[in-house]
Amino acid sequence: MNRKELIAEIKKKKSCLCVGLDTDLEKIPGHLLEEEDPLFAFNKEIIDATAPFCVAYKPNIAFYEAYGLQGWKSLEKTMAYLRQYYPNHFSIADAKRGDIGNTSTRYAKAFFNKLGFHSITVAPYMGEDSVKPFLAFKNKWSIVLGLTSNSGARDFQFAPVGMEQTPLYETVLRKTSSWGNTENLMFVIGATKAEHLRKVRAVIPEHFLLVPGVGTQGGSVEEVMTHGAIPGEIGLLINASRSILYASSDKHFAKTAASEAARLSQQMVKFFL
Amino acid sequence: MNRKELIAEIKKKKSCLCVGLDTDLEKIPGHLLEEEDPLFAFNKEIIDATAPFCVAYKPNIAFYEAYGLQGWKSLEKTMAYLRQYYPNHFSIADAKRGDIGNTSTRYAKAFFNKLGFHSITVAPYMGEDSVKPFLAFKNKWSIVLGLTSNSGARDFQFAPVGMEQTPLYETVLRKTSSWGNTENLMFVIGATKAEHLRKVRAVIPEHFLLVPGVGTQGGSVEEVMTHGAIPGEIGLLINASRSILYASSDKHFAKTAASEAARLSQQMVKFFL
């Protein structure tokens, strides 16, 4: 999916909501545990219910790896289902992968080719030759960690760099931008505060941002879109996971998840007028 | 495996060699492709042949993920084989994982519990709450990226931080050290040059270092051990992958791999006298 197509989907739905498929056997409704593949059964119902309100799905790969072989099968089935029935939804492998050149290429093949994801999150610490292999894949996106929403972001991402004591994350944004373009590179910006979003947009006005931290983590859709949107293009994917997936744990869980997704996407509508 | 046991194994074998199981279907001997599980067949022969000369094995997870479900099965079989027949060899999941708290815990469970690895490599960009969950697992090790051996290390790891313009990797070493101890934390130091090793040891004199970059990547065992060893304890795991695995591609490939492993470990012997 290219940038034009993604923006068209966002505008059509008046939503830039991304649903994080962080599927946890200990949290899904109990009745699903009798299914042959509870993870997939849950994902399928969530996807069917929330698809009208979101433009993207983001499975966090750790949640599937934790279940070994069976988890990987569930992930494969989830991706096959998305590709077949919801091909216009943007898929993100939240894997935060990164390694030296040839090894990064293998990660890229695993997620872009084998699993058919549109995009993958990438960790930047190892620099250019660890990120560029992902960027070499046509019509695929790399979403590089810029500023993350967890408390540990303070440890290194704000390290004051150089004569001007610029926070490290700005260096990461600037340097990484030069390795790709606005058609194959996005950034994870776990910032929901106005001042941070403005600073980020000053460095990267045109790149798409994947913004976690809305929903359970407490950020506001309003603030993110006011200070983070690209005029005319939005250029945001705003993620919520737990607040949607686990909105309820009874037999009607999917409907309740849909309501929560609808509620969040409703807050986005006014930005499309 | 705890630090004492690891050091005892290293001293017993007079070797701190780690064999990187970066198994690539396109490089293994052709006759193995007829096997039901070529990846595992290759790994098994390599392990059996090299075990006398090394103290550790390090599968790079990307190489297995690239083959999807089948790759994961081969990895599981490899780990089951190691745990059953070579329980005193230290195993490293070269995964370079890292995510927010609960998600890191899932990665830890996947590799420590499900696959039974002794240790895992961890990417530090997201800071304390992304690393600490790995450290919470008893008798397990986290090997955090400090200085990597690829050219991209220059992009961020040497970013000059703070008033004293200290390279970022030193900040990473210092801060990360405070989150664990010398019994559960190691660092990836892809440095084979004397000056870098000395600088690293000035910051972290007591931690084990995992050192790639020997063998195909060109570093010298002599230089690494001279400037990186902890007196009396060695405190190093020196990795070689391709130069051992693909030393030959005929029917006797395992024997040739063993010769190369023996050659590298022979260079280490004098440091144990």
Q: Give domain limits for chain B.
A: 3-272
DSSP code, position B215:
S
Helical H segments across A87-236, by residue range: 101-108, 128-135, 153-156, 168-177, 194-203, 221-228
Chain A residues inside the 8 Å CB shell of B106: 62-63, 65-66
A153-157 long-range CB contacts below 8 Å, 24 or more apart? A153/A190, A153/B126, A153/B127, A154/B127, A155/B124, A155/B127, A155/B128, A155/B175, A156/B124, A156/B125, A156/B127, A156/B168, A156/B171, A156/B172, A156/B175, A157/B125, A157/B127
pLDDT at position A213 over 80 = no
Nearest to A96 among B99, B145, B154 (CB): B99
**Min Cα–Cα distance to chain B from A232, Å:** 32
pLDDT at position A241 over 70 = yes
Q: Is residue A63 less than 8 Å (CB to CB) from chain B?
A: yes
Strand pairing class (B166-167; B160-161): antiparallel
Q: Identify the residue with better confidence: B102 or A192.
A: B102
Mutate to test the interface with B, among A60, A61, A65 (most CBs of B within 10 A): A65
Q: Please give the backbone phi and psi of residue B130, each rounded to the nearest 5 degrees, phi first.
A: -95, -20
- Whether A143 and A112 have beta carbons less than 8 Å apart is answered as no
Mean predicted confidence (pLDDT) in A41-53? 98
Which of A143, A186, A148, A150 is CA-nearest to residue A168? A148
What is the model's pLDDT at position A125? 95
CB-CB under 8 Å, B168 with A127 = no
Q: Residue B100's closest chain A neighbor by CA?
A: A150
What is the model's pLDDT at position B273? 82
Nearest to B125 among A71, A156, A175 (CB): A156
Domain spanning A3-272: CATH 3.20.20.70: yes
Q: Is B96 a catalytic residue?
A: yes
**What parts of chain B have a pLDDT lower than 50?**
none
CA distance A73 to B175: 38
Chain B contacts in chain A segment 93-112 (CB below 8 A): 94, 96-101, 103-104, 106-107, 109-110
> pTM (2 decimals)?
0.95
Nearest to A76 among B69, B145, B175 (CB): B69
CB-CB under 8 Å, B128 with A152 = yes
CB-CB under 8 Å, B72 with A109 = no
Lowest model confidence (mean pLDDT) among A81-95, A185-199, B257-271? A185-199
Q: What 3-state class would DSSP assign to A181?
A: coil
Q: Is A61 left (phi over 0), alpha (psi -120 to 50) or beta?
A: alpha
What is the model's pLDDT at position B23? 97
Cβ atoms within 10 Å of B179's Cβ, excluding its own = 20
* Integer Rg of chain A from CA: 18
CA distance A111 to B162: 38
Nearest to B127 among A22, A60, A155 (CB): A155
CB-CB under 8 Å, A101 with B150 = yes
CB-CB under 8 Å, B103 with A60 = yes
What is the model's pLDDT at position B217? 66
Chain A contacts in chain B segment 113-142 (CB below 8 A): 114-115, 123-131
CB-CB under 8 Å, A63 with B76 = no
Which of A154, A150, A144 is CA-nearest to residue A174? A144
Residues in chain B: 273
Q: Is residue A175 less than 8 Å (CB to CB) from chain B?
A: yes
Q: Is residue B218 less than 8 Å (CB to CB) from chain A?
A: no
CA distance A10 to A135: 23
Nearest to B159 among A69, A130, A161 (CB): A161
What is the model's pLDDT at position A217? 66
Q: pLDDT > 70: what percent of chain A?
A: 100
ipTM above 0.90, yes or no: yes
What is the model's pLDDT at position A192? 75
CB-CB under 8 Å, A159 with B161 = yes
Chain A residues inside the 8 Å CB shell of B66: 106-107, 109-110, 114
Which of B60, B42, B53, B62 is CA-nearest to residue B249? B42
- Residue A142 is inside which H or E element, if any? strand A141-147
Please identify which of the residues B96, B175, B199, B270 carries the catalytic annotation. Answer: B96
Mutate to test the interface with B, among A63, A100, A188 (most CBs of B within 10 A): A100
Q: Edge-to-edge strand order for the sheet containing A166-167?
A: A166-167, A160-161, B160-161, B166-167
- Whether A99 and A120 have beta carbons less than 8 Å apart is answered as no
Residues in chain A: 273
Which of B166, B198, B199 is CA-nearest to residue A156? B166
Active-site residue set of A: 96
